[in-house]
Structure 1
């Protein structure tokens, strides 16, 4: 079971950006990094969508139950 947080996602995305910016990559290595980036971006998008769904559900629940805040801990599992 993984215990990643949304902050970890941010770190992974920036690390991948740094790999793409490596000027010493060969054309073949750059192509591999681009493919890796596409996969990472696809998974990251799903994680972000899921986080948005959790946040929206919390906001709706807070509004329905008269609370003034949401539980952001649910975003980090």
Structure 2
């Protein structure tokens, strides 16, 4: 999987670095602020989705079911381990 929550953190900090550049013109700052607002809006949706996945995994776990498949990163790594012959 290419985009993970850790990658989101990198994107957010990259935007902070772009905004912190002291040589930006006011037009460039305006563009970066709009880009930053778009990134924040997308990040918010991504985090809401991740939170929903965690909530679903907790509900499943509370009923004695392995929640791994409800958390994509864990499901992918568990599938990879099984394919490689591990547990």
Q: What TM-score range do you get, normalising by the shorter chain? A: 0.7 to 0.9
Cα offset, 1:75, TM superposition: 4.5
Bigger Rg, structure 1 or 2? 2
Contact 2:8 2:43 in 1 (8 A): yes
5+ unaligned residues in a row in structure 2: which ranges? 77-87
- Residues matched between the structures, number: 74
What is the root-mean-square deviation in Å for CA atoms of aligned residues? Answer: 2.2
Give, in whole Å, the separation in 2 of the partners of 1:22 and 1:43: 23
Unaligned runs of 5+ in 1: none
Q: Which runs of 4+ in 1 moved over 6 A?
A: none
Higher relative contact order, chain-length normalized (CA < 8 Å, sep 6+): 1
CA contact (8 A) 1:16 1:37 kept: yes
